[in-house]
Homo-oligomer: A and B are copies of this chain.
C-alpha cells in the first residue's frame, strides 16, 4: 500500500542570489599539488613515526635518529597495516608485523624470509617532505611537481620583531567553510562577547585566477576593546575606519594582515597564515594549522608577560569560529545540498575560486 497523503515542502523562500551556476564547492576536493603542514616538528621525535592523513590517504611521517624526516604511504605493501606502527631502524622503516623494510623513497629493501631468487616487491609510495616554520610539510600530490613547487614564504616568521603562536587542531567541516568564515568580516558579530560590536567596511576587492583578497576597515559601535585584542593589534584609533585589514585566499592557503594605523607599507601589527588540510576522504573534516605572528611591543620582554592573555583571546575567537563552521557543516549534511543565500559578492567569488581550483573527490583509495 502506498500512502496517498502528501505535504507541501517545508522550505519555500525566494532566493536573493540564486546559485544555480555556482559550482558545488562543498563537494570539491583540495588540490593535493601543494605543500601542506601535517605535524609540528616537535611532535615528530627522532627514531619515531607519526600517522597523518590527507583526504583519506594515510601517510606515515618518519624521523630517523639521524637526518631529515621523510613520508611514506602508511600501508605496508604486504598486508596494508600502517607502517607508522613499525620500527625506525637507521634510515629505514620496518613494518611491525613481518619486518618488511623500506627506505626513505618507499622502496622495499628487505623481506627477511623471502625465498632466494624472488624479486622484492616495489614497495610503497613516497612523498616529498620538508621542514619549515616548525612544521613538517608534505607534498601529497603528483611527486614530479614537488620540487618546482615552493613552500609558502612567510617573511615575518622568525623575524625578531614578532612572536608566533601556533594553531593546530581538527575541525569537523569542509575547508571551504574555513576560507569563507575568515574572508567575510561581517561575521564580527560572532565575536561580540570578546570584541564588542564592530562594524566592518569593505574597502577594496582584488582577484586573480587562483587568489582573491579584500581590504577592510573597522569601527567599534558598542562595547570596549578587550585587553587581548589591544595586545595583538594595539589600541584602536579614536578615528573610525583608520585601520586596515587585508585577507587573502592565495590558493590553497589563507592569510590575514592587520595595520592598526592603516599604513600598508609598514610591518603589520598582526600576520596570520592558515592551511586547512582535509583529513577524511569526503573532506568534511580538516586539520587547521596556523601561524599567528604578533608584533612585539616596544619594551623588550613584555610580549612574554602578555602572551597568556593573547593566547586566551585567540583561543576564544578560534573557538567561536569553530562552533559556527561546524554548525554550517552539519546543516549542509542534513540538507544534502548547499542552500546558501549569499548576499556578499566577495563570498560568491571565493566559492567559485575554491571550486575552480579544486579537484574531484577521489571515489576510492586505490
| Interface residue A190 (Cβ < 8 Å from any Cβ of B) | yes
A335 with B365: CB separation less than 8 A: yes
Find chain B residues with CB under 8 A from A99 CB: 186, 189
A334 with B58: CB separation less than 8 A: yes
Do A324 and B78 contact each other (CB < 8 Å), given the known contacts A11-B73, A200-B113? no
B5 with A98: CB separation less than 8 A: no
A97, A141, A200, A328 pick with most chain B CB within 10 angstroms: A97
B359 with A7: CB separation less than 8 A: yes
Find chain B residues with CB under 8 A from A312 CB: none
B344 with A113: CB separation less than 8 A: yes
- Bound-state Cα–Cα, A112 to B219, Å: 14
Find chain B residues with CB under 8 A from A364 CB: 335-337
B7 with A142: CB separation less than 8 A: yes
| Count of chain A residues with a beta carbon within 8 Å of a chain B beta carbon | 86
Find chain B residues with CB under 8 A from A358 CB: 3, 5
| Interface residue A340 (Cβ < 8 Å from any Cβ of B) | yes
- Bound-state Cα–Cα, A58 to B333, Å: 13
Segment among A42-50, A116-124, A162-170, A235-243 that sits at the interface with chain B: A116-124
Q: Mark A340-366, 1 if CB is under 8 A from B, else 0.
A: 111110000000000100111010111
Find chain B residues with CB under 8 A from A343 CB: 78, 111, 114, 118, 121
| Interface residue A81 (Cβ < 8 Å from any Cβ of B) | yes
- Bound-state Cα–Cα, A78 to B343, Å: 8
Interface positions of A from 221 to 261, Cβ below 8 Å from B:
none
- Bound-state Cα–Cα, A309 to B108, Å: 38
- Bound-state Cα–Cα, A274 to B15, Å: 40
- Bound-state Cα–Cα, A142 to B10, Å: 8
A335 with B13: CB separation less than 8 A: no
| Interface residue A147 (Cβ < 8 Å from any Cβ of B) | no
| Contact among B5, B96, B200, B327 for A360, CB-based, below 8 A | B5
User: Would you list the 7 A-B pairs with minimal beta carbon distance, nearest first?
Assistant: A80-B331, A13-B122, A99-B189, A16-B121, A81-B327, A1-B23, A113-B186
Offer 23 A-B interface pairs, CB within 8 angstroms, sorted by A.
Answer: A3-B23, A5-B360, A7-B141, A7-B142, A9-B366, A15-B121, A16-B119, A16-B120, A75-B335, A78-B343, A79-B341, A80-B335, A80-B340, A81-B328, A82-B327, A96-B189, A97-B189, A97-B324, A112-B189, A114-B343, A121-B341, A334-B365, A336-B365
Q: Which residues of A contact B (CB under 8 A)?
A: 1-3, 5-16, 21, 23-24, 28, 31-33, 56-58, 73, 75, 77-82, 85, 87, 94, 96-99, 111-114, 118-125, 141-142, 184, 186-187, 189-190, 192, 199-200, 323-324, 327-328, 331-332, 334-337, 339-344, 355, 358-360, 362, 364-366
